[in-house]
Amino acid sequence: MKLERIRLENFRSYEKQEYRFGERTIIVAPNGAGKTNLLEAIYLLLAGESERASVTEEMITWEKPIATVNAVLEVNGNQELGIRNQGSDYIELTVILTRGSYMGKVTPKRRYLVDGVARTKAKFVGKLPVTLFRPEDMRLVEGSPPRRRNFLDESLTQAHPEYARALTVYEASLRRRNKLLDAIREGVARREQLTYWDQSVIKNGNIVSNFRREFLLYLSRVSTSFGKFKLEYLASEVSPERLTQYAEAEVAVGYTLVGPHKDDFKIFQEGKDLMVYGSRGEQRLGVLFMKMAAMKYVEEKLKIKSLLLLDDIFSELDQLHREEVVVMMEGRQTIVTSAEEEATKLVKGAEVVRLTKNTLD
């Protein structure tokens, strides 16, 4: 499986551009030239989500009504992935972004297409698994719980469509439940109205929790060149008993206090809690481990090698850790961005692309 080319139209800083990729590609460009935007577009196509944008509109070029990201994947004879041409060696993925309306009509803010056929997000992702490694990921160990929950979701939504569906329903149900809790607090709704949403967050929340627990147990069993680590799941269980226990407190604050949206986990190396006691180097080693182990998990579940995206990551690492990241590239298509020419010396046999103002030299 391989990403052959991508075409961007009105996506962030790109008006209309097309790029092609080999097995290893290094994109060298100064900061602000759009290299991170390019990786974001690739990630959006393969994972169904942006790792940067809080709302869809952020990804659409200023004053443009619609953006399109389109890619062609070489599938190497895997005929189950395509829709239109079952015998084809290629499939086409498209994401269409709008601001909620287009040409006077209400439209979905995101549409996902496989070979021109509309698909739900859950059926869209997983065609080619993708692992993105950014400088911000170095704060995964000591950062906030939402950062670690995102790490869980990035892998599990690609590996398991049922997880993606349960997470989507859980988050939608949570929003509705929170609105009702706020309305109950204001005296304009009744507690009985929570029953349906209670059942939904319990059912789908437990699916989410079970997948997360299994995933973290898997990571704890993995041995990599970065060493062996243990991950401890700090689950916020959701059940009828827990919702009853927190009923008064939830009405008082106007939102749901328990459930997977409150989950977290810890990472240990030889019994040491790296968040509390780990040195900066040990924490970074823990991050490298989690990225490598999570990539292996997705590849094992989908039986496809991941596309590895490295966004200016070498500038954050010392020589030893740089070499460990290079090991991650083995057997995987890799796209690297860097503001420094030094990166071209680290990755042997790579095609070098120099990007200037969103054009290729």
Indicate if 15 and 25 belong to the same structural domain.
yes
Q: pLDDT tens-digit profile of 252-274? A: 999 999 999 999 999 999 899 99
Does the pLDDT value for residue 123 go beyond 90? no
110 and 181 assigned to the same domain: no
Reading the block at residue 318, the tokens are: 């010392």
Which CATH number characterizes residue 94's domain?
Answer: 3.40.50.300
Mark whether 297 and 166 lie in a shared domain: yes
User: In the predicted model, what is the mean pLDDT of residues 294-318?
Assistant: 91
Beta strands in the chain (DSSP E): 2-11, 14-20, 24-28, 66-74, 90-98, 101-102, 105-106, 110-114, 117-119, 130-133, 223-224, 227-228, 230-234, 264-269, 272-273, 307-311, 334-338, 351-356, 359-360
| pLDDT at residue 148 is higher than 90 | yes
Within this chain, do residues 195 and 310 fall inside the same structural domain, yes or no? no
Are 160 and 259 found together in one domain?
yes
Check whether residue 116 and residue 4 sit in a common domain.
Answer: yes
The domain tally of the chain equals: 2
pLDDT in tens, 25-55: 999 988 888 899 999 999 999 999 998 888 9
Domain boundary among 264, 282, 303: 303
User: Are 276 and 226 contained in the same domain?
Assistant: yes
Instruction: Taking residues 231-251, report their average pLDDT.
Output: 98
Do 298 and 310 have their domain in common? no
* Residue 133 included in any domain: no
- Please check whether residues 33 and 173 belong to one and the same domain: no
| 81 and 16 both lie in a single domain | yes
Q: Which domain holds residue 20?
A: 1-128+304-361
